[in-house]
Amino acid sequence: MSKPRVSIYARYLPSVTPDPQYTGSVYWLVTHSGRLLVTESPEQTSIPLLPSLDLLAAVPNRTLYLGSLAGIPCFAADVPADTPEPPGMAFHPLRTLYDVLDEDVFHLAGRALQLLAWDETHQFCGKCGSATVLSAAEHVRSCPACGQLFYPRLAPAVITAILKDGQILLAHAPHFQNNMYGLIAGFVEPGETLEDCVAREIREEVGITVKNITYFGSQQWPFPHSLMVGFLAEYESGEISVDGIELDHAAWFRPDSLPNIPPRVSIARKIIDWYVEQNS
């Protein structure tokens, strides 16, 4: 069975301004180079709950307030890559923590990485070059010189399972490791609907047309700032033809003969697991 989805808002309340009256320990989502600092023990892996960042032998490049998790304030901090790991803690790539952290905490960590990346890359105005300032009311950086606003960016992408007579189309790209096969995916272009993008990407990457495009679900994908929107589609016509550049092979597979497929951290795996459940 596929892992049930847990909303980021199950326990998390977003905010941009911390409560000045709060005096206890807070959650720190500390990152560098796409890695998240977690506390490790035989019983549990979790995000650090600390009164301050004094435990780290480093000065953060930036910190942002995220809101509260189960009533406890949460801060995100980006630190230098050479920051030593405190005893009982370690930095891990966020992808490797999907099955370790609660899913809503994993999503919150993704939010932290995306907001820190946005803050780092919008210190100066892209219109006039002036230094920007962080708003106290919402996650936006503004330019005091020309008034330009810079909100956190998201890049929407679609990912689609193509189904035909109980089979699923899976494809291999040259950069995939361990001979992994996945679903057809691509970024949405200006002027497209999500369904337009599904049809175009499938036509471009495997040369077939589809029908009955339906929504499956979505996943925030903080690598670094994507929103993956999953779909199901039925085969309509055409023969599989890959370009040899983006993809080097694609084929139809049955649920009992799947190749190596994406890890459970991805929505691709959730869709494939759903397909297997429906056709087993």
Residues 167, 107 within the same domain:
no
Residues 166, 109 within the same domain:
no
Q: Is 182 a member of any domain?
A: yes
Spatial CA neighbour of 222 closest among 90, 63, 34, 38: 34
Tell me, rounded to whole angstroms, the distance of Cα 122 from its chain centroid.
Answer: 20
Q: Is 184 a member of any domain?
A: yes
Residues 159, 271 within the same domain:
yes
pLDDT of residue 54: 87
Q: Is 134 a member of any domain?
A: no
H helix intervals, 6-102: none
pLDDT of residue 1: 37
Question: Which residue(s) pair with 176 in the sheet?
Answer: none
CA-CA-CA-CA dihedral for 34, 35, 37, 39, to nearest 10: 140
Residues 102, 165 within the same domain:
no
Residues 115, 20 within the same domain:
yes
Q: Which 3 state secondary structure label does DSSP give 266?
A: coil
Residues 19, 115 within the same domain:
yes
The domain total for the chain is: 2
**CB count in 10 Å sphere of residue 194:** 15
Residues 24, 96 within the same domain:
yes
Residues 163, 116 within the same domain:
no
CATH no. for residue 22?
Answer: 3.90.79.10
Looking at the chain, the whole-number percentage of residues with pLDDT higher than 90 is 84
pLDDT digits (tens, 9 = 90+) for 108-165: 999 999 999 999 999 999 999 999 999 999 999 999 999 999 999 999 999 999 999 9
What residues make up the domain containing 196? Answer: 155-279
Regions of the chain with pLDDT less than 50: 1-3
Residues 160, 273 within the same domain:
yes
Residues 116, 159 within the same domain:
no
**CB count in 10 Å sphere of residue 70:** 10
CA distances from 211 to 193, 208, 260 (A): 15, 10, 27
pLDDT of residue 2: 43
Residues 116, 162 within the same domain:
no
Residues 205, 94 within the same domain:
no
